[in-house]
Structure 1
Amino acid sequence: MTGTRPVVVVVGPPGAGKTTVAELLAERLGVAVRDTDQDVEAAEGESIQDIFVGRGEPAFRALEAAAVAEALRTHDGVLALGGGAVMDPGTRRLLADQTVLHLDVGLAQAATRVGMNSGRPLLLGNVRSQLKQLMDARRPLYAEVATFTIDTNELSPDEVVERVLAELGR
């Protein structure tokens, strides 16, 4: 499948709804969905949290960058990236010629959606404080790679998908 490209790449902070929206969007478009966090877990045979704990964040980020590069080369459906994937300059360069949907969300809504999800290693401890730091650091990077941005705060996943389809002219 070399030479293909995703229809849409979905980026955004934890709690923005990337996985949910990617799945619904793929269904509506009649294409496959792929999530690079799931790719890393499948390739490594362990959870992202276990990779973070056992090998550290730099090791995870290297695995993530490789998974994103591979998915961008081989996937022709909807692709959801992990929230921190945009921190890698190489990943941002690869996203430059892609159609990238940035799902944005406010801190209060993200904190409510994420809750006390222990499966998110960077949000251990004070979830709201950690989430704010992540969002503040990453928001400019999401904006840099985004073809378009949709604020998900007041929207259901179905409403978000309708807006994405309108942006795509479908």
Structure 2
Amino acid sequence: MSSTATGHDQDSDPGDHLVRSQHMLARSEASQPGDHWCPLLAAGVLQSREYAAAVLGWCAVFTAHQLAEALDAQMHRADLVRRTTGVPQRYALTHYAAHRPLVADAAMDAQLRHIGEMAALDHIQVRVVPAHAPLAWASPFTVRGGRKYMEVPGGWFAVPGAERAAGVFEELWAAGEPWPRP
């Protein structure tokens, strides 16, 4: 894991690390365009509060207080990306990631509406790659500023292969269908 990318200190608390990671991601997303591939879950920025709480809760390494702080940081990040209109972000999700029922039906309906609200913004585009499309890449990634990153519920880290990932993203993007606008 790149300590430079995440600000992670081996002795630090996982909850503190996640909060710092969310703040660093928010600054990065607010300053640079990004292409995000999301095969298993909706991307953090596209998560409603209840959906994000379910995802972060899977980590099982957080106290209730740490989970609340991490969730607030993630919601701040989503709000910042929503308000930063001059920085385009593209999200390609599998049908599975977009519709995976992680929360109760009413909360899942709210999650789908949240994705639709984000996709309705001029600087955010969301596409859903149909289940029948061949997937060239099973792991989530983001390409931003010529680098490839992987974001997981516990943080994010830089990984090699940005050029290849950028090409794969374009193939996935072309295979996707635009998220229906509300």
TM-score using structure 1 length: 0.39
Q: Which structure has the highest helix share of the two?
A: 1
TM-score using structure 2 length: 0.37
